Amino acid sequence: MSDVKISVRDNGPFLVEEKVTLVNGEGNEFPIDPNKLAIALCRYGHSANRAFCNGAHKACGFESAERAG
Residue 35 pLDDT:
92
Asked if residue 64 lies in contact with residue 13, where contact means CB atoms within 8 angstroms, the answer is no
Q: pTM of the prediction?
A: 0.83
Question: What is the C-alpha end-to-end distance of the chain, expressed in Å?
Answer: 27
Residue 7 pLDDT:
96
Which pLDDT band, with edges at 50, 70 and 90, does 1 fall under?
A: low
Per residue in 11-65, pLDDT (tens digit) is 999 999 999 999 999 999 999 999 999 999 999 888 988 899 998 888 888 888 9
Query: Structural domains in the chain?
Result: 1-69 (3.40.5.90)
